[in-house]
Chains A and B, each alone.
Chain A
Amino acid sequence: MKSNKIFISGDEAVAQGVRLSRPHVVAAYPITPQTITVERLAEMAESGEMEGEYMHVESEHSAISATMGASSVGARTFTASSSQGLLYMAEGLHYCSGGRWPVVMMNANRSVALPWSIYGDQRDSLSLLDCGWIQVYVEDAQEALDMIIQAYKIAEHKDVLTPMMVNLDGFILTHTYELVDIPEQEMVDKFLPAFQTPNKMSFEEPKNLGFSSKPDDNTEFKYQQNEAMFNSIQVLKDVDQEFADTFGRKYDGMVEEYRCEDAEVVLVALGSVCGTIRVVVDKMRAEGKKVGLLKIRYMRPFPEAEVKDLAKRVNAIGVVDKDISFGYEGTVYTNVNSAISKIDKYVYKSNFVGGLGGRDITKDEIEEMFNKLFSGVENKSEEKVEFFSLNVESND
């Protein structure tokens, strides 16, 4: 198989994935740490390396609006944002999923103000879990590029027709460089044929856009969206397999288990922190401790079956959340906990809230989390949500 490895950042890897997917329209507004992606796309459009139109819009709200409009006439579209920009798009995100326009977006995960922070956590996208978009979280630049290509194939599938957000951790992934394999255009073209929408607005087949629906049938549209999201589970697995057959890289669909076969305690996490957890798992495994990692790739649709399956095999599950839903717990934890509650077995659980506003989650901290899970099982400790870790003493 032909390959072409180049040394690029996560942002640039996304831009390469977009170029290879041949979008007709890119509309995006730059925001740290996503900026490099849209700069590269603008350069590609300018030089003709990418045939699509780059629309320089005045805001994120306009970016999502422009991509929706283009998508409704059958264009393949891309937008990208982060943090405050993503939240400014929020109204449009619901419009887009309700309109069933398969827009693909890259989101550079970044904290949200106040206090203002340009650094990473996942509170931006996790606070938008309910906006009807498929959400995938990647662990490195290669996965970011590959998932952009996969995203179009998943989102545009006739049984799905749902927009998709590819999330990568701000700075940790967007700004670090790694060797990334750039697939051949010819192979991508074969894998990802042109977008064909049954909803295309054209002169040949004029369509109405029924903008509002009365209480008589609004629920039915929402039911359809929910069905489409569940349909995407099989589609994304099939697409991942076809991707593996074509390009030789496989991501295991909804989740990836790392050394979970005979694990007693497992940490669950999203995104780049999984890389650090893998290193700690290897170290503790070498010491004879049965630990493992469940990397959640898709938060929507949620991997309920996979979480339940794992919970049946282990004694304790800790969830690392780069997010906190104030007044309750981390959002990932809430979702994981809901799945675990549906099995007929007690599993000790704990929620480690960390990495907020760009604070590193260190190997030592991860080892401590694993040890807390072991002692939690042994001592039947109280299950709780713990900020991991504060730099100062607290009143708890």
Chain B
Amino acid sequence: MNRPKKTEFKFPTHIDEYPTGPQYAAGYLPETNAGWRSVRPVVDHDACVYCLRCYLLCPDGTVVKDNGKITFDMDYCKGCGVCAHECPKDAIEMVKE
């Protein structure tokens, strides 16, 4: 999955830099949401059977298929713990940041 790239946001300095009305180009991502996280998922790769249940259920699509291994896009993981809760092998542990 191609994750959106973060675009640096510059606050307008001239009125002409504002969009006409509230419509503006889509896919404009000014900030990540890693700051929401207080716990992070840690995978026990020996226990993981690569069933991809976490990949399907992550509400933010942060699970990355990395050459047969599960990793996480930590810029967007909010630490919700759905992956750990749903893992059939209890291979994911939520660790305090």
**Is B20 an interface residue when CB atoms closer than 8 A count as contact?**
yes
Among A113-121, A204-212, A319-327, A384-392, the one that faces the other chain is A204-212
Specify which chain B residues have a CB less than 8 angstroms from the CB of A72 in the assembled complex.
23
Partner of A98, one of B15, B19, B21: B21
A207 and B24 within 8 A (CB): yes
Interface residues in A144-203 by Cβ distance below 8 A to B read 161, 198-199, 201
**Is A217 an interface residue when CB atoms closer than 8 A count as contact?**
yes
B22 and A161 within 8 A (CB): no
B28 and A100 within 8 A (CB): no
The binding surface of chain B is classed by DSSP as loop
Partner of A207, one of B11, B18, B26: B26
A210 and B12 within 8 A (CB): no
B15 and A224 within 8 A (CB): yes
Partner of A208, one of B11, B15, B20, B25: B25
**Is B27 an interface residue when CB atoms closer than 8 A count as contact?**
yes
A217 and B23 within 8 A (CB): no
Return B91 CB to nearest CB of chain A, in Å.
37
Known contacts being A206-B27, A208-B28, is A217 close to B22, with CB within 8 Å?
Answer: no
Specify which chain B residues have a CB less than 8 angstroms from the CB of A206 in the assembled complex.
25-27
Taken residue by residue from 91 to 116, chain A's Cβ proximity to chain B (1 for < 8 Å, 0 otherwise) reads as 00000001111000000000000000
Specify which chain A residues have a CB less than 8 angstroms from the CB of B26 in the assembled complex.
206-208
A199 and B23 within 8 A (CB): yes
Taken residue by residue from 2 to 30, chain B's Cβ proximity to chain A (1 for < 8 Å, 0 otherwise) reads as 00000000011001001111111111100
Return B61 CB to nearest CB of chain A, in Å.
18
Return B29 CB to nearest CB of chain A, in Å.
11
| Distance between Cα atoms of A299 and B19 in the complex (Å) | 27
| Distance between Cα atoms of A99 and B24 in the complex (Å) | 11
Known contacts being A208-B28, A217-B12, is A224 close to B18, with CB within 8 Å?
Answer: yes
**Is A221 an interface residue when CB atoms closer than 8 A count as contact?**
yes
**Is A394 an interface residue when CB atoms closer than 8 A count as contact?**
no
Partner of A221, one of B11, B18, B27, B28: B18
A221 and B25 within 8 A (CB): no
Partner of B21, one of A199, A216, A217: A199
Partner of A209, one of B15, B18, B20, B23: B23
**Is A220 an interface residue when CB atoms closer than 8 A count as contact?**
yes
Specify which chain B residues have a CB less than 8 angstroms from the CB of A220 in the assembled complex.
12, 15, 18
B20 and A98 within 8 A (CB): no
Binding site for A on B (CB under 8 A): 11-12, 15, 18-28
Binding site for B on A (CB under 8 A): 72, 98-101, 161, 198-199, 201, 205-211, 213, 216-217, 220-221, 223-224, 227
